[in-house]
């Protein structure tokens, strides 16, 4: 994974490779990662908004789709 994707945080992978290679790697992960692994994958796509977020198992932070835009939910801590 670390050869093809950037891992900014544990189990968060961001693709910087061509669509066909990224698709092959993601499909491989779906076949071989346990269902509870909590992997979050962000890859570039040609359609708007230009990226896609996919998960394998429940991620640490939930994702939502708002007006066709996939977002990662951040909770604010009150001080």
- Given this model, what pLDDT does residue 1 score? 66
3 state DSSP class of 6: strand
Report the C-alpha gap between 69 and 25 in whole angstroms.
23
Strand partners, 40: 12, 55
pLDDT band at 9 (very low <50, low <70, confident <90, very high): confident
What are the start-end ranges of the H helices in 6-63? 19-32
Q: What percent of the chain has pLDDT over 90?
A: 0
Q: 25-49: per-residue pLDDT in tens?
A: 888 888 988 888 888 888 778 888 8
């Amino acid at each position: 994974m670390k050869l093809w994707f950037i891992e900014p945080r544990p189990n968060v992978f961001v693709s910087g490779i061509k669509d066909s290679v990224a698709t092959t790697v993601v499909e491989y992960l779906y076949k071989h990662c346990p269902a509870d692994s909590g992997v979050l994958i962000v890859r570039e796509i040609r359609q708007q908004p230009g990226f896609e977020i996919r998960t394998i198992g429940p991620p640490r932070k939930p994702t939502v789709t708002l007006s066709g835009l996939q977002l990662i939910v951040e909770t604010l801590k009150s001080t």
